[in-house]
Structure 1
Amino acid sequence: MHGMKSLLGAVLLFACSAGCARHAPEAQPTSSSSTTVYVARRVRTLDAERPMAEALSVRAGKVLAVGTRDEVLASAGADARVVDLGEATVVPGLTDAHGHLAGLGAGLAGVQLESTATRDEVLSRVASAPATAWQGDWLIGRGWDQNDWPEKSFPGRAELDAKLPKTPVALERVDGHALWVNGEALRRAKITKDTPDPAGGRILRDANGEPTGILVDNAMDLVNAVLPSPTEAQHEARLAAALARCAQVGLTSVHDAGMDLRTFRLMQRWDKEGRLPLRVYVMADGQGADRETYLREGPFQGRMLTLRAVKLSLDGALGSRGAALHAPYSDEPSHRGLLLLSPEEYEARVKAFMERGFQVATHAIGDRANTLVLETLLRQAEATGTRHLRHRVEHAQILRLEDIVRMGKSGFVASMQPTHATSDMPWAETRVGPERIQGAYAWRELKKAGTLLAFGSDFPVERPDVLLGLYAARTRQDAEGQPLNGWYPMQRLSGEEALEGFTVGAAQAAFAENERGRLKPGMDADFVALSVDPVEAPPEQLLTAEVKLTVVAGAEVHSAR
């Protein structure tokens, strides 16, 4: 996005030291007893009874009225505050149904390696790392993708050792499922030729069996175990920056996919203090040791913070060949990917969290992982009587055609990320071949089968800019409009269907369809004003569109004015 200004730009720039932001960003609320009227060229409500309007009024965090300009002004009273948004289009609050706030904050602080075209460019950025990229005496960064480089092969420790032989370096791949480290990092993690691959992980090795410096999925834990945690000041500053960034791009709510307990405790404090500018729907981290505390304490409901779900991860990512497939990879015939949990352990965790009243959300990318998730969720939801908890499949990226049909009949949610398709399309078919690709990123087929779609970005894997997700869902093209008619264009969605994925669908995935996702009297006053109509404007206009205003619970948390 271009030309966006943030109410909290100083935090977003992150140019100061890591301890410079000690608090979450604060919204600018209107008086709870006063009425504010917002007038725009168009208000797109997604309410079937009144789909289009010219104005809405807000009081005490709720939508008071929706209608024509004259109707809303007349009902608001003479003392109402009036905000004229001009040619903007107002839409219900936009939700990212799958993101990682702590990861976004760390990405904003570390060496940013997104869109690097060569290994040399990565090394150049590492050599000029900002001060915020240090975590203890380690240098951290994220975002590299070998698929964007001419040689397409994984890098290794030697390149990093040539630049920083004595400084431990840990660079996370764009998908978060591989780590590129140098020799000093391997030494501190005690990873040698004799270190076995952990269950659900791979230590890539050279012809002599020596670690190359690439760790995939659960092998990353060997380094993460010795990587110093961010200080409290760093932690707060990073989360504040992440929340500010989300407000800037028009998000009124985020479903955080796998929140660690430390972050959750900070969010609880900020929520109690009234300092959370967005709604945060938490999926507890069910993968690590924090799950025991989450199980013991159970779900939580605050003002802007909800904990009702748990996130489990069953396989890795397609880009690093960690996604679990039924048949071998088309471009690595000896490999079928990785299961990060055994089927037995996965089922035990599913059962425990369902019995505790949690919605179970499972990361599943490969077709084998998706089959296993569906079978397990169906079996345990029946056994525990929790079908009503709307269990979720996060990504649902590559499915056998029969599993698409089964997903539609299950009542489960497909939580998907449109920009994953447009990022992966240059190489995805190389990984899985022409037959399996028919069930990949299959939004239209899933929708046709009756599946509820909830859309997000998986930030920081992708940018949190929701307008890019709307563009990808409508076009299945890159920013240059390629391929010409879209990648597997039969899976494209209409403008309204795309918008529903980030509003109505996301609200329903979080049990909030009676409060959010549409604009009608009595519902929460969460909405966004955009410089273009995301439904009817030519989709390419979304690439340069501006978020004019972000309003959460009646509070203006970002304004471009």
Structure 2
Amino acid sequence: MRRQFWLSAVLLLTAPWVQAETMLIKANGYSWEHERLRQFDTLVISDQGKVLATGAQAELAPRWPAAKVLDMGGKTVLPGLTDAHGHLLSLGYSMLSLNLRETRNLQEAREAIRTYLRQYPGNGWVLGGGWNQVVWQLGRFPEAADIDDLAPQRPVWLDRVDGHAGWANQAALRIAGIDKNTPDPSGGRIERDAAGNPTGVLIDSAMTLVSRHIPAADAAQNKEALKLALNTLVANGITSVHDAGINVAADQAIRSLQAEQALPLRVYGMIRGTGEEFTQLSKDGPRYDAAQDRYVLRAVKLFSDGALGSRGAALLAPYSDAPHTKGLLFHTPAELQGMIRTAASRGYQVNVHAIGDAANREVLDAFAALPPQWRAARRHRIEHAQVVALEDIPRFVKLGLIPSMQPVHATSDMNMAEQRVGPQRIRGAYAWQRFTKLGARIACGSDFPIESPNPFEGMLAAVSRTDLQGQPQGGWYPDQAMSREQALRCFTLDAAFAAFQETRLGSLEKGKWADFVVIDRDILKVPVSEIATTQVLSTWVAGKQVYSRP
């Protein structure tokens, strides 16, 4: 089924370009015009894939009498949606790996692993993830002992749902040489029992002790995983994605598809770190695609801490539910400032992962220390900006920083967030209205594959502060919910702004690319509970249909 979907998407992608103007009529269209939302019923597209006009059919039809006409039948048309924070190769590989996201307890996870081992026998690594000990109500991290009987000789390595912890069996620990005497690496932690023996869970940078032993995928595998991810995104109405961590392998796969004119959407890339791969990928400076805007590589992704669920997020004060720890800062202030300066001095936008309030403060301080000429025009970003001290929120605006946030994290984390940080610090967590009221432009994404790439699930979380089942009633800290217009804007125009693309993407204004999505309902008017079940009917990039719902 998955292969059949991929082939149909490729056929759409390679269809010939229209040779004349195209006019969409009878649309229930929405777009930003001079940053104000307005409606239209007709959209005119040039044969180069740019917007010529939006407005009323009676006004526009006489101006383009020879245009090819497509009747939208009253369907809703939105500007193409941008996911401002995702991981393309990880999404593709997650769809080919063991997935524990839907498991409700450890026993279900064991059964999923057992089934996978039957389906895929052999001696190779068992890879996957999505586990969440909070959802399992396990009261602890899982351990190698919980799965050793299932795969006594075959190495198992499973990422936590947030990607900031990994679960290994004893076979994987043996391959990695991890034992009682293995020290915790900087920025990471090996979970241990009372005797100091590794239990099987590794936090943040300690994960590399195992992951570096996993055989690397080859170029063909990367390319297939990338295709699967891209076609999944266009099926969800995504026309542009900001990939938060491009390495050399991902860059090669993306450029290979770009050379084949087979990128179905736009990719804005962030180079992962300022190490050897940055040296290789930045040798010619930031890379633009001025002609087609298909693949831009002009940003760098750094990390300052881990995640809240695994208590790796760095807090100013101890965790409310674990007073013995404040989480983990990955770098000293001097180290982080040095990496930011390295990237900014080369002309790159710098986007730093920060979850905890201590990490956010460290990143804010690091950006404040930048020379003004390396800060003002770069539109640097803090990715997640998840738990921020109230007094630090105004600094985002003062420093010209963009909070790149994922609304669905709030509803995914609400089962443990307040336990982690307590009732006072939670006021600065997932605080979208506190940011917007100060003038910050929030770029919204999903952080797929940690979360679903479906942007309508993100919009539901943004406007309701509830999960897909509508819980809790009335929303979780509903005073921080976005309006529907704000939610649409953060997935369109403001996400484009966060990538310096607001003059070319994010709205259906004259001269911009005709990137849009056709959906089965008016998300600005239907009951809030129906937003997440929105169906994408078709997705268009540069005036070309790249996905059509079967």
Counterpart AA for 2:278: R
**Structure 2 stretches lacking a partner, 5+ long:** none
2:549 aligned with 1:560: yes
Amino acid at match of 2:237: G
Q: What is the identity, as a one-letter code, of the residue corresponding to 1:536?
A: K
Give the counterpart of 2:355 among 348, 360, 365: 365
Structure-1 residue corresponding to 2:329: 339
- Residue 10 of structure 1 corresponds to 3
Pick aligned residue for 1:540 from 529, 536, 544: 529
Tell me, in whole angstroms, the C-alpha distance in 2 between the residues paired with 1:466 and 1:135: 37
Aligned counterpart, 2:492 = 503
Say whether residues 1:159 and 2:146 are aligned partners.
yes
Aligned to 2:33: 47
Classify 1:298/1:487 alpha carbon distance in 2 versus 1 (closer, same or farther; 3 Å).
Answer: same
The separation in 2 between residues aligned to 1:136 and 1:74, in whole angstroms, is 68
TM-score (norm 2): 0.95
Cα deviation, residue 385, structure 1: 3.3
Aligned residues: CA RMSD: 2.0
Q: Using the alignment, how far apart are the partners of 1:556 and 1:76 within structure 2? A: 21
Equivalent residue, structure 2, for 1:97: 84
Aligned to 2:482: 493
User: Which amino acid counterpart does residue 358 of structure 1 have in structure 2?
Assistant: Y
Is contact 1:284-1:307 (8 Å) kept?
Answer: yes
| Contact map agreement 1:409 1:449 (CA 8 A) in 2 | no
1:321 matched to 2:314:
no
Q: Are residues 1:168 and 2:158 paired? A: no
Give 1:289 deviation, angstroms: 3.2
Q: Report the equivalent of 1:188.
A: 175
Q: Which amino acid aligns with 1:350?
A: I
Pair 1:225-2:215 in alignment: no
Amino acid at match of 1:324: A
The answer for the alignment partner of 1:457 in structure 2 is: 446
Decide whether the 8 Å contact of 2:31 with 2:38 is kept in 1: yes
1:454/1:509 contact within 8 Å kept: yes
Q: Does 1:355 align with 2:345?
A: yes
Structure 1 residue runs without a partner (length 5+): 1-7, 14-20
How far apart, CA to CA, are the structure 1 residues paired with 2:325 and 2:532? Answer: 38
CA distance in 2, matches of 1:214, 1:170: 10
Q: Which amino acid aligns with 1:468?
A: E
Aligned pair in 2 of structure 1 residues 86, 538: CA closer, same or farther (>3 Å)? same
Partners in 2 of 1:361 and 1:455 — Cα distance? Answer: 14
Instruction: Show the counterpart of 1:37.
Output: 23
1:398–1:12: structure 2 CA closer, same or farther, 3 Å change rule?
Answer: farther
**SS of corresponding position for 1:300:** coil
Q: Is the 8 A contact 2:222 2:253 kept in 1?
A: no
The DSSP-based 3-state class of the residue aligned with 1:437 is helix
Residue 4 of structure 1 corresponds to none
In the alignment, which of 427, 431, 436 is matched to residue 447 of structure 1?
436
How has the CA–CA distance of structure 1 residues 104 and 522 changed in structure 2, closer, same or farther, with 3 Å as cutoff?
Answer: same
- Between 56-65 and 160-169, report the one with greater CA deviation: 56-65
1:394 equivalent among 367, 374, 383: 383
Deviations 1:301-355 (A, max 9, x none): 2330000100001100000000000000011101001112222221111001100
Other-structure match for 1:61: 49
For residues 75 and 194 of structure 1, what CA distance do their matches in structure 2 show? 77
- Contact 2:302–2:353 (8 Å) recurs in 1: yes
Matched, 1:406 2:406: no
Is 1:143–1:172's contact at 8 Å kept on the other side of the alignment? yes
- Kept in 2: contact 1:133–1:140 (CA 8 A): no
Paired with 2:432 and 2:453, the residues of 1 have a C-alpha distance of 20
The CA deviation string for residues 482-521 of structure 1, in whole angstroms up to 9 with x for no partner, is 1111100110111000000000110000001111111122
Alpha-carbon distance in structure 2 between the residues aligned to 1:56 and 1:234: 39
**Residues in 1 aligned to 2:537 and 2:415: alpha-carbon distance in whole angstroms:** 33
The whole-number CA distance in structure 2 between the counterparts of 1:56 and 1:191 is 60
**Large movers: runs of 4+ above 6 Å:** 23-26, 130-136
State the 1:24 CA deviation: 7.5
Paired residue for 2:369, among 357, 379, 398? 379
User: Closer, same or farther in 2 for the Cα pair 1:104/1:273, shift >3 Å?
Assistant: same
Q: Which has the higher contact order (CA 8 A, sep 6+)?
A: 1
The CA distance in 1 between the partners of 2:16 and 2:530, in whole Å, is 32
TM-score, structure 1 length as denominator? 0.93
User: Does structure 2 retain, via aligned residues, the 8 Å contact 1:455–1:502?
Assistant: yes
CA distance in structure 2 between the aligned counterparts of 1:503 and 1:177, rounded to whole angstroms: 28
Maintained 8 Å contact 2:14/2:262: no
Report the alpha carbon displacement of residue 52 of structure 1 after superposing the two structures with TM: 0.9
Q: Partner of 2:103 in structure 1?
A: 116
CA-to-partner distance for each residue in 1:221-276, whole Å, 9 max, x for gaps?
00111111123332121111000000000000000001111110221121122110
Q: Is the 8 A contact 1:416 1:455 kept in 2?
A: yes
Q: Give the residue type in structure 2 aligned to 1:240.
A: K
| Superposed counterparts of 1:198-277, under 5 Å | 198-277=185-264
Please name the residue that 1:16 is paired with: none
Give SS of 1:52's match: strand
The answer to whether the 8 A contact 1:330-1:430 is kept is yes
2: CA distance between counterparts of 1:135 and 1:409?
56
Q: Distance in 1 between matches of 2:371 and 2:384?
A: 20
Q: Shift in Å at residue 77 of structure 1? A: 2.2
Q: CA deviation at 1:12?
A: 5.7
Letter matched to residue 335 of structure 2: E
- Alpha carbons of 1:529 and 1:152: their partners in 2 closer, same or farther (altered >3 Å)? farther
Q: Which letter maps to 1:556? A: Q
| CA–CA separation in structure 2 for the residues paired with 1:135 and 1:92 | 47
